[in-house]
Structure 1
Amino acid sequence: MARDLISKLTVALERDGAGSSDFDLNPETVLPEGRKLRPAGVLVPVSVVADTPRLILTKRSSALKHHPGQIAFPGGKQDEGDADVTATALREAREEIGLPPEMPRVLGHLPIHETVTSFSVTPVVAILDSSFEPIAEPGEVDEVFTVPLAHVLNPENYVVESRRWRGQRRHYYAVPYGPYYIWGATARMLRGLAARMSE
Structure 2
Amino acid sequence: MDIRGGESSHRGTERGATAEFVHRPTVADFEEALRARARRTPAGRAQALMAPLLAAIAVGVFSALHDTAPPVLIVSLVLSVAVASWGTVRGLRTMARRMFSVVEPYGQFRTVADERGAVSNGERMSYTVDWAVFREYLETPGLSVLLGGDRAAGVAVLPKRGAQSAADVDRLRAILDRNLKRL
State the structure with more CA Rg.
2
- TM-score between both structures, scaled by the size of structure 1: 0.24
- TM-score between both structures, scaled by the size of structure 2: 0.25
Q: Which has the higher strand share?
A: 1
